[in-house]
């Protein structure tokens, strides 16, 4: 079942996100089950939303490539089953 994952990084400025994506973008793109990644900046940080083919595939990426680099007080991601997606 496809899922969406939303992660908010309070206080993260856009340039810090950009630096992370220099190294993480291509490995993310090649990860099994990865579909899409979008990010937006607001006055209180960066919010990322991703679409994955399955929760298991996302969990594999998250536990090995993301979680080890998060601060201990980072808010947990919100994972939901995808109801619909529309692309170009």
Q: What is the pLDDT of residues 16-58, one digit of tens each?
A: 999 999 999 999 999 999 999 999 999 999 999 999 999 999 9
Residue 75, helix vs strand vs coil:
coil
Residue 63 within any structural domain of the chain: yes
The pTM (predicted TM-score) of the whole model is 0.91
- Which CATH number is 44's domain given? 3.30.70.100
The pLDDT of residue 9 is 92
| Nearest residue to 1 (alpha-carbon basis) of 61, 58, 66, 48 | 58
Residue 2 near residue 35, CB atoms below 8 Å: yes
| Nearest residue to 4 (alpha-carbon basis) of 30, 32, 35, 26 | 35
Residue 20 within any structural domain of the chain: yes
The pLDDT of residue 40 is 97
Which tens digits make up the pLDDT trace of 51-82? 999 999 999 999 999 988 888 888 999 999 99
What is the domain extent for residue 63? 3-72
Whole-number Å distance between alpha carbons of 20 and 32: 20
Domain count, the chain: 1
Residue 40 near residue 74, CB atoms below 8 Å: no
């Amino acid at each position: 079942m496809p899922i969406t994952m939303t992660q908010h990084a309070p206080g993260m400025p856009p340039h810090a996100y950009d630096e992370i994506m220099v190294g993480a973008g291509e490995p993310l793109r090649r990860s099994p089950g990865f579909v899409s990644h979008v990010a937006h900046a607001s006055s209180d940080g960066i919010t990322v939303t991703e679409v994955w083919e399955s929760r298991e595939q996302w969990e594999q990426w998250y536990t090995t490539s993301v979680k080890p680099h998060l601060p201990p007080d980072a808010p947990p991601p919100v994972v939901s089953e995808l109801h619909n997606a529309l692309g170009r």
